[in-house]
Structure 1
Amino acid sequence: MNTLDVSDVSFAYGQREALKHVGFSVAPGRFAALLGPNGAGKSTLIALLTRLYDVQQGDIRVCGCSLRNAARPALRQLGVVFQQSTLDLDLSVEQNLRYHASLHGLSRRQGNLRVEAELARQGLDERRREPVRALNIGHRRRVEIARALLHEPRLLLLDEASVGLDPASRLALNQHLRHLCREQGLSVLWTTHLLDEVQPSDDLLILHQGRLVASGTADALSQAHGGNLDNAFARLTRAPGATPGVKA
């Protein structure tokens, strides 16, 4: 069973179509990069995946559960890190995590165990009593990832999570997430417009003008469309040149 299945999803704001028959899957333990220029429809897709918007056409399933008619069990398998931080800056790292554990209905004992596990896994144990306001952006992102994983979801969704990070922090975050995929079997869907955040073995999804114009491994798509990712992305997202549904 795939961790995520997006099937024939379309969405419109009035007369303006933001997504047009988008479909793809993310398998267990895979890192999938959703790449697209500004205005491609990435934010709309994230809003649908997190149920900020209801699906108008098609279906989205998380671990086999449809967001249309089984939203609660579907969302239980989803952890989310949004582009804009939603941490309480005046609470400590540990307080932020404990508060979120209670929102997920974890018992005090379960919450304690999960908080301790994520503090250790994210390398935050020594920062637990520091207010989030005192952390740099990279460490704040780690707190957000720890928070998103407290309820042990099978899919982690990150929306432009590297915005504002310096190159070293971006690289560290990118590597950290791939480690979670390899070691924990976590599936990751990472939305970005930065080509250097995509590795050759990643599953790559290219969204342009509301359509999924290509899907496959980054290496295969690069070889099929110009020999490198820069050329492939340029060819697939130029005005008349993208061919919907290209796979590699």
Structure 2
Amino acid sequence: MTDPLNPLTRSETLQTESIREIVQNPQFEATYEQEDVTFPLATFDPLSDEKPEWADVRLSDELKECALRFVSLSCEWVSTSPRQRIYGEFSLPHLYLAITRDPPRYNDQATESERELLAGLRMIDSAPRRATGEAAFIRLEPHKETLEIWYQDRYLFDERNNTQGFLRMELDYCEYLETLRLTKGAFGWQLLFIDASLRAPGFRAHVENLTNMLDVFPAAFPEYDYTPLRDRLEARR
């Protein structure tokens, strides 16, 4: 419920409306959790924090404006049609909680550059209920006005060139939230925004899920334009 004394921001309204769209659509079975609204990200100044990982890290005004104030916002869903199964899930923590937690762990194959990369990553989205291992991260870097977003998938693992399964996304955090509204967290959607082919056998389930999503969503959610996502999928097949 919305607190009349503390109304939702535009970004929060758009995300909760997107969840409502899939929850109320009979073509899907969906559950969601919306935790309490807390403080805005704008009240957090990393430059005043004494932690070494925050040295010269800056949060842009755009990031502060689009960041959600919910302690967490999550949704899991599946389509009801047995012919075209589509699955999705996302779990968004408050960005302050995300960026003040520990970085992801690395395996013993990690190169020095990969260890340096992972040291700056903080998880911003995941699928904890289905435990697929897919997740998105924001990268804390000094003197960067726009912080990078990285995606992890076990099928991106390459024992020679990508021993941790991480690739940078072509989105910033605000764009990530915008695209999440379109995809509702359909599994594999982040792959449409990284530099990778989806022809490997490991991506077959993702490609099927995305193909079914792009078949069903335009009619289920006609207020959105799915043409750019369809073009991205075709370019990666």
Shared fold (TM-score, shorter chain, > 0.5): no
TM-score relative to the length of structure 2: 0.26
TM-score relative to the length of structure 1: 0.25
Q: Which has the higher contact order (CA 8 A, sep 6+)?
A: 1
